[in-house]
Amino acid sequence: MFIHFAFGTLGKQGKLEEQTETTIQYILKEKRLKVFKCTEFIPEFPEPGSIRIPLDKMRFVSNESNAQLVYDLDQKKNHELPDNESIYFLQRDVPMISFIKIAFNQLRTSNHWMEYGKFGIVLTDRFLKSRGIGPVKYYTEQSLWNDPLIRKWNYELKSLSPDKRKDCEKEILTYRKPSTCFPTFKNSVMAKITVASTGGTVELIKYNRYEEGYDFTKENEYRISFNEGVDYLDFEEKDLFMVITPNIEVQSRIQDFLSQNWKEKPQVTIYPH
């Protein structure tokens, strides 16, 4: 089955009552899942003969109409520049909904609940497949060099039409992910530049959602991607197969809501202990 863990942050914070009420009000009552923008990455190969300057070794220059990051090349001897053979990871925000594929009886021995909680929404396979759900393929730093899709983006990008470039980028962002949170991935930096009449600022943003070494492959993640401007995935009562709840109290509350508001009722069960 495909499980979408609902409002796991509230569960991790111990706010079970708030998590339950939020799930009822925003998922079961509205019959829809919220589309969130997640930070994903495009692996970019180094260009031969180029010098990659790390953002934290550049300085910010701005005025009322312009802002830029500059690096004084005559100072490069004073800095240790990175290995120019390393792959760089370009950050992008991607609208999607994520699911974990796992058999219900396997939840007992999994540690998904540590990261995402024990409140699961299980839509039918038929419905999800009709909406284009697809598996994430996990890569290592070494395997990226031979990944046909990554090679296409890096070596054929300039020769592709704008639509094909967009499709290629979307497929990478949606269905490619590192096998572990390895150092070069975690240390990738995005510069957020803000320009105002009083001057400008630059903020260096690193990916810090997971600790270094986190194993993504254990999630067996599947995703549905969406176009910009799409906020929800709507479903009908027949499309909801099961609601997994953290305990018997929450189970009773969900059952009460469904009995009063739904004609077709899904299974409501407790996360296996």
For residue 221, what pLDDT band results from cuts at 50, 70 and 90?
very high
Q: Check residue 199 and give its pLDDT.
A: 59
Choice between 189 and 38, residue whose per-residue pLDDT is larger? 38
Each residue of 91-146: pLDDT tens digit?
888 999 999 999 998 988 887 777 788 899 999 999 999 999 999 999 988 899 99
Each residue of 149-205: pLDDT tens digit?
999 999 888 788 888 888 999 999 999 998 987 776 666 665 555 666 665 665 656
Average pLDDT over residues 61-90: 57
d(C-alpha 65, C-alpha 63), whole Å: 6
pLDDT at 70 over 60: no
pLDDT at 83 over 70: no
Cβ partners under 8 Å of residue 36, min gap 6: 95, 96, 97
Q: Check residue 190 and give its pLDDT.
A: 59
Choice between 138 and 60, residue whose per-residue pLDDT is larger? 138
Q: Check residue 81 and give its pLDDT.
A: 46
Question: Which of 40-44, 62-66, 202-206 ranks highest by mean pLDDT?
Answer: 40-44
d(C-alpha 204, C-alpha 137), whole Å: 28
pLDDT at 55 over 90: no
Q: Check residue 201 and give its pLDDT.
A: 61
Strands 88-101, 221-225: pairing is antiparallel
Average pLDDT over residues 47-67: 57
**What's the mean pLDDT when you consider all of the chain?**
83
Q: Check residue 159 and give its pLDDT.
A: 85
Neighbours of 263 (CB within 10 A): 7
Q: Check residue 65 and give its pLDDT.
A: 55
Question: Which of 3-7, 37-41, 163-167 ranks highest by mean pLDDT?
Answer: 3-7
pTM for this entry:
0.79
Q: Are 39 and 92 in contact (CB under 8 A)?
A: yes
- The candidate with the shortest Cα–Cα distance to 42, out of 155, 132, 176, is 176
Choice between 111 and 234, residue whose per-residue pLDDT is larger? 234
Average pLDDT over residues 224-236: 95
d(C-alpha 270, C-alpha 14), whole Å: 17
